[in-house]
Structures are given as C-alpha cells and as structure tokens.
C-alpha cells in the first residue's frame, strides 16, 4: 500500500498534465477503441517507481485497465526488458502514459545512479547515504528509489534525527554548546566537524556519529585513523563516482551523496501502444 501523500502526488501530477482534458486524444481516438500499452527499458537501468503504474491508471479510469507488472523496483534491466503491460481503453492509455513514464524514468534514474555508487564501494564497510537535497514534494519517492538502488536512507527530514551542521555550531556558540543542548532529545545525534579542534571537542564530549565534510581522501583517512572507532564516520562533500572508492577505503562507515537525488539523469523508458 502506498502512503496517502503518494496518492495525492499522483493525482496532482495527472491534473497538471491533463488539466481540463486530453484534447488530442479525445478528438482523434474513438471512445470504444481498446489497446495494450507495453512499457520497456531502452537502456541498462535499475528500476524504481513501477508500483505507481497501477495507481496512475486506476486514478484515471477506475476498474477499466488490466495491469501486469513484469518487474519490481530494484531489478536491474537490460535494453528491451519489459516493465509493465497495461490493457484497456486506448484513450486512457494515451492520457496516462506520460505521467507513468515521468515517474518511472525519474525514479529509475535515481536508482540507477545509486546502484553505480553502491557498486563503486563494493567489498568495503562503507554504505551510500542519500541527503535532503531532493525535488520538493518528491522526497519520499526519491528516497524509495535510493533504497531500490541499494543505497541507505538518511533522515527523512528535520524532524526525525539531529544533524548539527557548521551553521548550528556557529549560532549555538561552539561544538560543546550545541551538543549539550541535545542530551535529552531522545533522537540520534550527528555533528559536522571541520577542523581537528572541533573533531577532538566532539570526541571528548562523547559524540557517537561524526560528519566529515569537504576533506580529500588522504585527509579523511588521517581523521578516520585518529577517530579510531570511537564514533561512526560519515563523509560528504563533492564525492563522485570516480572518488567514491578512495573515500570508502579510508575506513568510513558512510558516504552521503546529494547527487543521487539532485543530479540523477532520467533513464530511457518507452511506452508502446498496440491495438487489439
């Protein structure tokens, strides 16, 4: 079952596309014409968002379409692999195809990029995390796509974990002052440290999760060695597919990558209509 917020998101997407009606389809396509639509991959990809396809066509025309999902989110597909088959009124298929493709192409793009980062750090102890750098309104779906690609979800928002960044430290009056105010929150606490002095202050305080930002792989390795297992370590800041392995081999526990959601290119997926 998809969360209600996802249902509402799909409804808004359909309304955005259809507006007062699909003029082209209504004028050109006979109302009684039936068809089958086949969605398939046109490139190598990791699939995500396929669960939305039944919801999209059910919202358009309840009970009018027969939908068969051939694959599930997380599957790795090669070009030509069939994703879903939708049978029903040709008008419904034509009206819903772009919304279905938009979601599957976008979310599969996130999953595909995530799977590439996960592959880059394979056989290390390091896990790939997402961030809050998501498309407004699509965070839940994009984080689901990250998970489909083998990544690990970081906090969903500002409400479910404490992440003290450099601006928080500056405004609070220092590392210790910021950490002191989280003692009784009852939530996970992570703090960003940008200097060795801040690092030692956080470790002396007893911080158990540290964020190291914008370090080179060699610098990160030195810091991880200094931490010596006293806290979990997350690395962030400009990590690319080319550098991910070097950062993972520092001994860090996590690498967070904003690009998973803010820069993932959509994949190539096609929806082909066949008349009965």
Q: Locate tokens 């919304």: which residue?
A: 99
Q: Please say whether the dihedral angle defined by the alpha carbons of residues 239, 257, 134 and 118, taken in this order, is positive or negative.
A: positive
Q: What is the pTM of this model?
A: 0.96
Among residues 38, 132, 133, 139, the one annotated as catalytic is: 133
17 carries an active-site annotation:
no
Among residues 58, 59, 82, 213, the one annotated as catalytic is: 213
Share of the chain above pLDDT 70, in %: 100
**How many whole angstroms separate alpha carbon 110 and alpha carbon 156?**
16
133 carries an active-site annotation:
yes
Q: Which CATH class is domain 4-116+264-275?
A: alpha beta
DSSP string over 237-255: SS--TTTHHHHHTTT-SEE
Among residues 70, 98, 127, 139, the one annotated as catalytic is: 98
98 carries an active-site annotation:
yes
Among residues 130, 192, 198, 234, the one annotated as catalytic is: 192
Collect the ranges in the chain with pLDDT lower than 50. Answer: none
Q: In 3D, which of 84, 116, 103, 115 has the Cα closest to residue 142?
A: 103
Among residues 38, 70, 132, 165, the one annotated as catalytic is: 165
Write down the pLDDT at residue 80. Answer: 98
With beta carbons less than 8 A apart as the criterion, state whether 106 and 49 touch: yes
Write down the pLDDT at residue 276. Answer: 81
Fold held by 118-262: TIM Barrel (3.20.20)
192 carries an active-site annotation:
yes
Domain range list for the chain: 4-116+264-275, 118-262
213 carries an active-site annotation:
yes
């Amino acid at each position: 079952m998809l969360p209600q917020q996802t249902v509402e998101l799909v409804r808004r997407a359909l309304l955005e596309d259809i507006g007062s009606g699909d003029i082209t389809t209504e004028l050109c396509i006979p109302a009684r014409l039936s068809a089958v639509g086949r969605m398939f991959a046109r490139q190598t990809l990791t699939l995500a968002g396929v669960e939305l396809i039944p919801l999209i066509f059910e919202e358009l025309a309840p009970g009018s379409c027969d939908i068969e999902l051939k694959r599930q989110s997380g599957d790795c597909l090669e070009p030509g692999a069939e994703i879903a088959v939708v049978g029903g009124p040709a008008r419904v298929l034509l009206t819903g195809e772009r919304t279905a493709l938009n979601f599957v192409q976008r979310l599969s793009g996130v999953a595909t990029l995530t799977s590439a980062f996960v592959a880059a750090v394979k056989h290390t102890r390091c896990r790939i995390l997402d961030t809050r750098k998501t498309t407004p309104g699509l965070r839940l779906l994009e984080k689901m796509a990250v998970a489909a690609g083998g990544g690990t979800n970081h906090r969903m928002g500002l409400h479910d974990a404490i992440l003290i960044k450099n601006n928080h430290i500056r405004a609070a009056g220092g590392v210790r002052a910021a950490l002191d105010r989280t003692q009784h929150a009852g939530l996970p606490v992570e703090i960003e440290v940008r200097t060795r002095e801040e690092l030692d202050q956080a470790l002396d305080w007893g911080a158990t999760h540290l964020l190291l930002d914008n370090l080179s792989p060699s610098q990160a390795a030195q810091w991880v060695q200094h931490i010596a297992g006293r806290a979990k370590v997350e690395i962030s800041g400009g990590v690319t597919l080319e550098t991910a392995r070097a950062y993972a081999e520092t001994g860090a526990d996590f690498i967070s990558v904003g690009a998973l959601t803010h820069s993932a290119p959509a994949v190539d997926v096609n929806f082909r209509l066949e008349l009965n």
